[in-house]
Amino acid sequence: MAVTTGTVARQRTLRRPLRPYGVAPTAILLLGAVYCLLPVSWVLIAATKSKAELFSTATFAPGTGLAANIADLAAYRGGVFWLWMLNTLIYAGGGALLSTAVSAVSGYTLAKYRFRGRNAIFNVLIGGILVPSVVLAIPQYVLFSSIGLAGSYWSVLLPQILHPYSIYLARVYAGAAIPDSLLEAGRIDGAGHWLLLRRVALPLMLPGMVTIFLFQFVAIWNNFLLPFIMLGDDHTFPLTVGLYTLLAAGSNQPALYNLIITGALVSLIPLIALFLTMQRYWRTDLSSGAVKS
């Protein structure tokens, strides 16, 4: 990862006094950063505005209604918003845990075992990346309703466990992080496949599994299409579908807009916290093995 603390930057400037492009690269990046932070900083401010202030005061002028907005949000339909938060946590947390387990075991097997059909199985699983989710969503809905499970937690949880790209990442990571000699030594000592998986492979793959978990957590947290199609009862909604239904209702009841904005802010807090605290695990390349900070 880039180390650009103040001192290092200063030393670099001293060593190389000529900065051929001046401040332009820094300025372009900061401009991009401002663009990316603009909507997030707006929702932080807008959540403090009262109903009257939202459409009258300057866009970035703080208001006086934060406490009232949060109280309104908490009271909306008997606190259904908190249920949406909890549901999202169940879908994203449970789904990502299961997905990481399946990906890690599959990736390890595909990287470290030689067996007939290995490449065929890998190619078929990876080919799933190219299948647009819409081709799957309609039949998944029909199939789940035929067994009476459409609208249940399972109908959103189960289809999101298998994630081809996570299996690919796990395979790459297992290949780089688990030395063959260690597995061979374990085999000579008489360890079975299950023991090797649990005691040797998975502990070594842990940092890579954290990365896979994070990406899968965000992917499920952000998914809209699948829960939107599957779920009908707002007590099972995740945040994305819940906020959308609020927005759809808001086009007739503008009084809901303050709720929606406050809800959007509250829904962002867990993800942004996870995002900032887990910085060193957000990597898209797992081939280098151990996580460097």
Partner 1 sequence: MRAHRPSGARGAGAAPYLFLAPAVVLFTLFTAVPIVYTAYLSLRRTKVSGLGLGRGARREVFAGLDNYSAAVGDGELWAGWLRVLGYGAIVLTVMLGLALLFALLLDSAHVRLARFSRIALFLPYAVPGVVATLLWGFLYLPSVTPLRDLGIDAVLLGPGTVTFSMANIAVWGGTGFNMLVLYTALRAVPRTYYEAARIDGASERQIALRIKIPILMPAIILTTVFSVIATIQVFTEPTALRPLTNTISSTWSPLMKVYRDAFVNGDLYSAAATSIVIAAISLVLSFGFLRVVRDRAFQEG
Say how many CA atoms lie within 13 Å of 245 toward its Cβ. 19
Residues 208-237 interacting with partner 1 (rule: CB under 8 A) = 218, 221-222, 224-225, 228-229
Q: For residues 289 and 61, what is the distance between their CA atoms, to the nearest angstrom? A: 47
Between 66 and 105, CB nearer to partner 1: 105
Position 57, amino acid: T
Q: H helices of 196-256, where?
A: 202-222, 225-230, 239-250
Residues 125-184 interacting with partner 1 (rule: CB under 8 A) = 125, 128, 130-136, 138-140, 142-143, 158-159, 161-162, 167, 180
DSSP state of 159: G
Q: In angstroms, what is the minimal distance from the CB of 247 to partner 1? A: 5
Is the CB of residue 170 less than 8 Å from the CB of residue 106?
Answer: yes
Q: For residues 173 and 177, what is the distance between their CA atoms, to the nearest angstrom? A: 6
- Residue 54 is a binding residue for partner 1 (CB under 8 A): yes
Between 57 and 68, CB nearer to partner 1: 57
Enumerate residues 6+ apart whose C-beta is below 8 A from 287.
172, 173, 175, 176
Q: For residues 203 and 209, what is the distance between their CA atoms, to the nearest angstrom? A: 10
- Residue 119 is a binding residue for partner 1 (CB under 8 A): no
Binding-site size, partner 1 (CB under 8 A): 102
- Residue 7 is a binding residue for partner 1 (CB under 8 A): no
Residues 242-261 interacting with partner 1 (rule: CB under 8 A) = 243-244, 247-248, 250-251, 257, 260-261
Is the CB of residue 68 less than 8 Å from the CB of residue 222?
Answer: no
- Residue 17 is a binding residue for partner 1 (CB under 8 A): no
With CB under 8 A as the contact rule, which of the stretches 24-32, 70-78, 79-87, 202-210 interacts with partner 1? 24-32
Q: In angstroms, what is the minimal distance from the CB of 113 to partner 1? A: 4
Residues 71-100 interacting with partner 1 (rule: CB under 8 A) = none
Residues 194-213 interacting with partner 1 (rule: CB under 8 A) = 197
Say how many CA atoms lie within 13 Å of 238 toward its Cβ. 26
Backbone angles phi, psi at 253, to 5 degrees: -125, 80
Q: In angstroms, what is the minimal distance from the CB of 212 to partner 1? A: 13
DSSP state of 242: H
Between 96 and 241, CB nearer to partner 1: 241
Q: In angstroms, what is the minimal distance from the CB of 106 to partner 1? A: 4
Q: In angstroms, what is the minimal distance from the CB of 291 to partner 1? A: 12
